Amino acid sequence: MSDEVTSREELLKTIDYVPAQQDLYKPNLEFRPGTWNYPANPKKMEHLELPYPREWSPPDLDWKLPENWKEIILKGMEERLNRYRSLRVYLDICVRCGACADKCHFYLGSGDPKNMPVARTELMRSVYRRYFTVGGKLLGGAAGGRELTEDVLKEWFYYYYQCTECRRCSVFCPYGIDTCEITMMGRELLNLVGLNINWIVEPLSNCFRTGNHLGIQPHAFADTIEFAVEDVEDVTGIKVDAPMNRKGAEILFVVPSADYFAEPHWYTFLGYLMLFHELGLDYTLSTYASEGGNFGLFHSAEMMKRLNNKIYAEAERLGVKWILGGECGHMWRVIHQYMDTINGPADFLEVPKSPITGTVFENAKATKMTHIAEFTADLIKNNKLKLDPSRNDQWKITYHDSCNPARAMGLLEEPRYIINNVANNFYEMPENTIREKTFCCGSGSGLGTDENLEMRLRGGLPRGNAVKYVKDRYGVNILTCMCAIDKATLPAVCDYWAGDVAVGGIHELVGNALIMKDEQKPRTVDVRGDPLPSVEGSEEGDE
C-alpha cells in the first residue's frame, strides 16, 4: 500500500540529511498542560525526609532551586559514575547508530526527536562530556559537551518524566545500553534538588505509613479482603478463606494494592482467592507487606531498597517458606533484577516449590519469589485444575505483554498458556508489538495521572493502534494484561485509540473458568457479576 503512495527511493530523495530541524542541544522549555505531572507535595517529601521540599510548578520561571543546585547535581553525577560502572559505560559507548531511535512509544506518538532514546540520553550525556571527560572539559561544545544550566535541568525534568522506563529501546540496542537506567539516574539526580512528582512521592509516603501505595490502613485492608470474600461467595456460593498475617503459613502472597481496591484489578483478586481455595493452599496475606508494587524503582535505588525490604522482613517475621507474587509489573523488575543484590540473599527462605505439583521453581532460587503466572501455568500443565473455558466465551481476548514481566523477567509463554487453557477465543496482536517487543501502556513508572493524560495518550498510541487492529479484525473486546498500572491506565488508551475494549487480568479469566468442588449450583455470572453467555454449558467440565 505504502508503495503506491510514494516509493521508498522517492521519499529518500526528499530527506534532508541535515540533522533534525530542532536543535537537540537547545533546551525545550514548553510545559503545556496535560504533558507533565504535578510536583510532589512538600508534606509527603517531609515524611520521607527528602531534600528541599517546597511548592513549585513546572510552568513557573522560578523553580526555587537551592543556591548550590549545580554543585549538588554534579557531585551526584560523580558519585553515581563511581558507584555504577554501567552508567559510565552507557554514557561512553553509544555510537548513535539510531537503532533505538524509532522504538520509543513516546517518540512514535509525539514525533518529538528528543524522545528518541538516544536523544533523551544525550540530554545527560552532553553534561557528562562537559564535566567528566577530558575532551569535553577542554573543548566544550566542540566535543559534544554542554553547560549544565537551569534550563538544561528543566529539560531533564520534562523528558525524564516522559520515559516510562519500559526498556523497549534496550531490546534493539546492539550495545545493550539500557536507556531506562539513564532515566533512573536522571530522576535520582533531580531528586537531589527536590524535583520530584507527587504521583511517585505520595505513594512512597503512603507505603511507609500504611504498608501500601494507596494508603490503606491495616484494618481497612482486612475489610476490603472481607468484601472480596463476599463477592466470591456471590459468584460461586462458596465462602473462601483469606488468611491474613498468619504465622507459619507456607507461602506469603503479595499483590499490588490496586488489586484489592480498584477495578478491573478487583476481578483478578477474586480469581486468586478462588484458585487458592480450590487448591487448599497454605498461604497468608499480610497487612504489612500489603504492596507488591515498588514506586521506589521510579525514585531512587535507596527508596526501592527500603520498600522491597518490607516484603522480605515480613516473610521472615511470619516464618513462611517462600513468596508468591500477584499480577504486577514493575514489582517483578525489582524482584528479578535488583532484589538479590540490594536486599539478598534471602537465605532464610526456601526455593519455591509448588505444594500441589511438586515443581521446584529453580528460576527463583535467588529471590525465593515466584510469579503467579508461573505457578498457575504449572498447575494447568500438571492437570491440577478443572476448567471450563466456555465461561469466558463472552470475551474475545488479546494479551498485552506488560513491559516488566515480559522484558525484565522473560515471562512470555506462561500467560499465553493460561489464557489458551481457560478461554476459547484468544487473538494475538501483531508480532512486532508483543512479547519482548511489546509497546508500553504509556503510563508506567509513576506517570499514570489524569493531569498527564495527553502525554499518556501519545505514549499509548502504538499499543492502542495494535489493539484497534485486533478489534477491527477479530472483534476483540478485552485486553488482558499482568500489571496493575496497565489495568488502571489502558482503559483510557483503549478508549481513545481503539474504541470500546475492556481491560482485565489473567486470573480474572482463571476465576471464571475454574470449576470448584464445593460449588452447589451452576454458575450464572462471571466474576464481574455479568451473566454468563451460556449458563447451560457452564457445568460441563473440560480440562
Partner 1 sequence: MLYVAWQGIQRIVMLETILAQKKKAIVGKWLELIADSYPAGSEFFVDKDQFTNPVGYILSSEIEILYDEFLHDQIDSERAIISLEEIIRSRAVQDRTPGESVNFVFLLKDVIRNELKSQAKNKEFAAELAKLEGRIDNLACQAFNVYTGCRERINQIRINEIKRDRDNANRLLERFARKYGDQTVEVAGGYDRSEVTE
Rounded Cα–Cα distance for residues 260 and 231 (Å):
12
491 binds partner 1, rule: CB under 8 A:
yes
Least Å from the CB of residue 301 to partner 1? 27
113 binds partner 1, rule: CB under 8 A:
yes
User: Which residues between 192 and 211 bind partner 1 (CB under 8 A)?
Assistant: 206, 209-210
Least Å from the CB of residue 495 to partner 1? 5
How far, in whole angstroms, is CA 87 from its chain's centroid? 22
Rounded Cα–Cα distance for residues 196 and 520 (Å):
53
Q: By C-beta, is 214 or 373 nearer to partner 1?
A: 214
E strands of 61-190, at which residues?
none
Least Å from the CB of residue 42 to partner 1? 15
Least Å from the CB of residue 491 to partner 1? 8
Q: Which of 501, 481, 372, 478 is closest to 425 using CA atoms?
A: 478
Q: Which of 450, 469, 409, 454 is closest to 106 using CA atoms?
A: 454
Q: Which stretch binds partner 1 (CB under 8 A): 60-68, 101-109, 354-362, 417-425?
A: 101-109
Phi, psi of 81 (to 5 degrees): -65, -35
Q: By C-beta, is 126 or 449 nearer to partner 1?
A: 449
Q: Which residue has the cell 513557573?
A: 60
User: Which residues between 242 and 261 bind partner 1 (CB under 8 A)?
Assistant: 261
Q: By C-beta, is 262 or 525 nearer to partner 1?
A: 262
- The residue count for binding partner 1 (CB under 8 A) is 60
Mark residues 258-297: x for contact with partner 1 by CB under 8 A, - for none.
Answer: ---xxx----------------------------------
Cell of 237: 456460593
Q: Which of 189, 192, 197 is closest to 31 using CA atoms?
A: 197
Least Å from the CB of residue 403 to partner 1? 16
Question: Who's near 401: CB < 8 A, 6+ residues apart?
Answer: 412, 415, 434, 435, 436, 438, 481
11 binds partner 1, rule: CB under 8 A:
yes
Mark residues 23-62: x for contact with partner 1 by CB under 8 A, - for none.
Answer: -------x-x--x---------------------------
Question: Who's near 399: CB < 8 A, 6+ residues apart?
Answer: 415, 416, 419, 426, 428, 429, 434, 479, 480, 481
How far, in whole angstroms, is CA 427 from its chain's centroid? 23
Asked if 39 contacts 195 with a C-beta cutoff of 8 angstroms, the reply is yes
110 binds partner 1, rule: CB under 8 A:
yes
E strands of 365-493, at which residues?
369-371, 397-399, 478-481
Q: By C-beta, is 8 or 247 nearer to partner 1?
A: 8
Q: By C-beta, is 265 or 368 nearer to partner 1?
A: 265
Q: Which of 339, 285, 272 is closest to 315 using CA atoms?
A: 285
User: Which residues between 494 and 523 bind partner 1 (CB under 8 A)?
Assistant: 495-497
Q: Which of 320, 447, 457, 509 binds partner 1 (CB under 8 A)?
A: 457
Q: By C-beta, is 116 or 323 nearer to partner 1?
A: 116
Rounded Cα–Cα distance for residues 511 and 501 (Å):
20
227 binds partner 1, rule: CB under 8 A:
yes
Least Å from the CB of residue 2 to partner 1? 4
**Measured at the alpha carbon of residue 40, what is the angle toward residues 38 and 42, in degrees to the nearest 5?**
135
Cell of 89: 559505560
453 binds partner 1, rule: CB under 8 A:
yes
Q: By C-beta, is 371 or 456 nearer to partner 1?
A: 456
107 binds partner 1, rule: CB under 8 A:
yes
Cell of 107: 517518540
Facing residues of 505 across strands?
A: 481
Q: Which of 197, 328, 333 is closest to 259 using CA atoms?
A: 328
Q: By C-beta, is 28 or 477 nearer to partner 1?
A: 28
Interface residues with partner 1 (CB under 8 A)? 1-2, 4-6, 8, 10-12, 14-16, 20-22, 30, 32, 35, 102, 107-113, 116, 206, 209-210, 214-217, 219-220, 223-224, 227, 261-263, 430, 432-433, 450, 453-454, 457-458, 461-462, 465-466, 469, 491-492, 495-497
